[in-house]
């Protein structure tokens, strides 16, 4: 009598093993592609965009939404830097239909030209942009817990109710999420919060494992990009005023003129010169002159806008690149700067009873494309206007 063995369990085990091997192979391929993508740039914004795209892309980890936080060491808090994800279920359906029709590769999704437009359009980021989450150990936020423990926090649907008072989770509106620390050399330098709000796909152990492997690469990429940004900033920064230096000014003005030409935007250049600065140096010494330079630099930063570039042009001259600014708009900003300098009490010794020194500046403006078509022409126009202001009696603005 011949006995027949039931090989059904063996076949089932083989299918399970085959599925696991298939998943492992896919995960390795995804990590390899992500690793290659992160090596293509040292620009911090582009790195953050690559990381979040890899977390949310269908060819990456496939989460519906992701928000990336960086650490503000000075204020000891978490700040949201970038977010990617649909605004609504309808928006999500459009994205998935596009993916189904076009089948874009990861390398197409992470192109640098996509970064600024996608950042600006993100309503997800706008919903949490103003948040600063204190890293105090007493803060009950699960994000703070993930930061201090350096381990992922997976909040399941059963546990989400425990955090109903958390301000971030109220705005994020998730019913399940994972908070993943991004580490380099055992130091957390960021966090990613990800979820599947629209698909309602449960977050599995395999998802967490792959996410952790990506996080290890992402943390190192962020550290490298941050170091590069710091060195780059130092090489382009004036040591006395901490403004952008002359070399950066020349390069950035060229870039802004080309951007203005391509997008048909006006650009105004402001050049200002401290009145009687040689006399000030001769009377009080160069050290006191440096104090005046630093205080005027602070006034320029406070009086200009986020997208403007305040620079030390050389000696007692400063330049400000006013992006997307007409001549009339530039005159308003320049006059505000002139008035703020004129009314500022310069204290050279730090002693309370010291007589305050008052300083004035002469300012000239030039506007692209109204006054000039090239960088050289624009600088010459603003410089000439500044000298007209100076020889017309000083402490005035001319264009």
pLDDT of residue 39: 78
Average pLDDT over residues 322-328: 95
What are the residue ranges spanned by the domains of the chain? 9-234, 246-398
Average pLDDT over residues 38-45: 83
Average pLDDT over residues 39-66: 86
Cβ–Cβ < 8 Å for 270, 337: yes
* pLDDT cut 70: percent of the chain above it: 83
pLDDT of residue 377: 96
pLDDT of residue 68: 96
CA angle at residue 377 from 375 to 382, to 5 degrees?
A: 95
Q: Which residues contact 181 (CB under 8 A, 6 or more apart)?
A: 146, 147, 149, 150, 151, 152, 188, 190, 191, 215, 219
Cβ–Cβ < 8 Å for 356, 284: no
Same fold yes or no, 9-234 and 246-398: no
- Rounded to whole angstroms, how far apart are CA atoms 222 and 235? 20
Q: Which position has the higher pLDDT, 148 or 128?
A: 148
Confidence check: pLDDT of 5 > 60: no
Confidence check: pLDDT of 122 > 70: yes
Using pLDDT thresholds of 50, 70 and 90, give the confidence band for residue 257: very high
Classify strands 361-368 and 397-398 as parallel, antiparallel or unpaired.
parallel
- The pTM is what? 0.66
- Rounded to whole angstroms, how far apart are CA atoms 287 and 265? 41
Give the tokens for residue 307: 């997208």
pLDDT of residue 26: 66
Q: Which of 33-47, 164-178, 220-234, 283-297 has the lowest mean pLDDT?
A: 33-47
Q: Which residues contact 125 (CB under 8 A, 6 or more apart)?
A: 67, 80, 82, 83, 119
Confidence check: pLDDT of 70 > 60: yes
Using pLDDT thresholds of 50, 70 and 90, give the confidence band for residue 215: very high
- Rounded to whole angstroms, how far apart are CA atoms 223 and 32? 19
Q: Which of 2-11, 220-229, 342-351 has the lowest mean pLDDT?
A: 2-11
pLDDT of residue 11: 63
Confidence check: pLDDT of 114 > 80: no
pLDDT of residue 300: 95
Using pLDDT thresholds of 50, 70 and 90, give the confidence band for residue 229: confident
The region that residue 243 occupies, defined by phi over 0 for left and psi between -120 and 50 for alpha, beta otherwise, is: beta
Query: In CATH, what class is 9-234?
Result: alpha beta
Average pLDDT score, the chain: 87
Average pLDDT over residues 30-47: 79
- Other CB atoms within 10 Å distance of the CB of residue 224: 16
Confidence check: pLDDT of 94 > 90: no
Confidence check: pLDDT of 282 > 70: yes
Q: Which position has the higher pLDDT, 306 or 106?
A: 306
Using pLDDT thresholds of 50, 70 and 90, give the confidence band for residue 104: low
pLDDT of residue 273: 96
The 3-class SS string of the chain reads CCCCCCCHHHHHHHHHHHHHHHHHHHHHHHHHHHHHHHCCCCCHHHHHHHHHHHHHCCCCCCCCEEEEEEEECCCCEEEEEEEECCCCHHHHHHHHHHHHHHCCCHHHHCCHHHHHHHHHHCHHHHHHCCCCEECCCCCCCHHHHHHHHCCCEEECCCCHHHHCCCHHHHHHCCCCEEEEEEEECCEEEEEEEEECCCCCCCCCHHHHHHHHHHHHHHHHHHHHHHHHHHHHHHHCECCCCCCECHHHHHHHHHHHHHHHHHHCCCEEEEEEEECCHHHHHHHHCHHHHHHHHHHHHHHHHHHCCCCCEEEEEECCEEEEEECCCCHHHHHHHHHHHHHHHHCCCECCCCCCCCCCECCCEEEEEEEECCCCCCHHHHHHHHHHHHHHHHHCCCCCEEC
pLDDT of residue 109: 62
Give the tokens for residue 197: 């709000």
Confidence check: pLDDT of 15 > 90: no
Confidence check: pLDDT of 118 > 60: no
pLDDT of residue 320: 97
**CATH entry, 246-398, from 3.40.190.10, 3.40.50.300, 3.50.50.60, 3.30.70.270:** 3.30.70.270
């Amino acid at each position: 009598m011949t006995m027949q063995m039931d090989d059904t369990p063996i076949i089932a085990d083989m299918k399970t093993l085959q599925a696991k091997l298939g998943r492992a192979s896919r995960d390795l391929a995804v990590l390899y592609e992500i690793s290659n993508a992160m090596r293509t740039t040292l620009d911090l914004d582009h790195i953050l965009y690559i990381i979040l795209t890899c977390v949310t892309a269908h060819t990456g980890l496939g989460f519906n939404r992701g928000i990336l936080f960086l650490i503000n060491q000075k204020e000891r808090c978490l700040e949201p830097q970038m977010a990617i994800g649909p605004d609504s279920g309808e928006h999500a359906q459009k994205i998935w239909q596009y993916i189904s029709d076009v089948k874009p590769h990861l390398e197409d999704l992470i192109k640098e030209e996509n970064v600024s437009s996608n950042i600006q359009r993100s309503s997800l980021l706008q919903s949490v942009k103003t948040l600063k989450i204190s890293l105090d150990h007493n803060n009950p936020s699960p994000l703070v817990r993930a930061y201090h423990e350096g381990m992922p926090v997976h909040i399941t649907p059963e546990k989400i109710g425990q955090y109903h008072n958390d301000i971030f989770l109220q705005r994020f509106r998730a019913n399940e999420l994972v908070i993943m620390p991004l580490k380099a050399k055992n130091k957390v330098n960021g966090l990613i919060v990800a979820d599947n709000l629209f698909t309602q796909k449960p977050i599995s152990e395999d998802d967490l494992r792959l996410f952790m492997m990506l996080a290890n690469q992402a943390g190192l990429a962020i550290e490298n990009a941050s170091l590069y940004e710091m060195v780059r900033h130092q090489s382009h920064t004036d040591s006395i005023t901490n403004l952008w230096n002359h070399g950066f000014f020349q390069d950035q003005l060229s870039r802004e003129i080309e951007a203005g030409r391509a997008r048909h935007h006006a650009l105004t250049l402001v050049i200002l010169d401290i009145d009687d600065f040689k006399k000030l140096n001769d009377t009080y010494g160069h050290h006191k002159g440096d104090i005046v330079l630093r205080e005027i630099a602070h006034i320029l930063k406070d009086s200009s806008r986020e997208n403007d570039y305040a620079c030390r042009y050389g000696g007692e001259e400063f330049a400000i690149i006013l992006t997307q600014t007409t001549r009339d708009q530039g005159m308003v900003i320049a006059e505000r700067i002139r008035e703020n300098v004129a009314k500022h009490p310069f204290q050279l010794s730090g002693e309370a009873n010291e007589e305050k020194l008052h300083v004035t500046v002469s300012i000239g403006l030039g506007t692209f494309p109204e006054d000039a078509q090239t960088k050289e022409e624009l600088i010459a126009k603003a410089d000439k206007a500044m000298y007209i202001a100076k020889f017309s009696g000083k402490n005035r603005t001319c264009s």
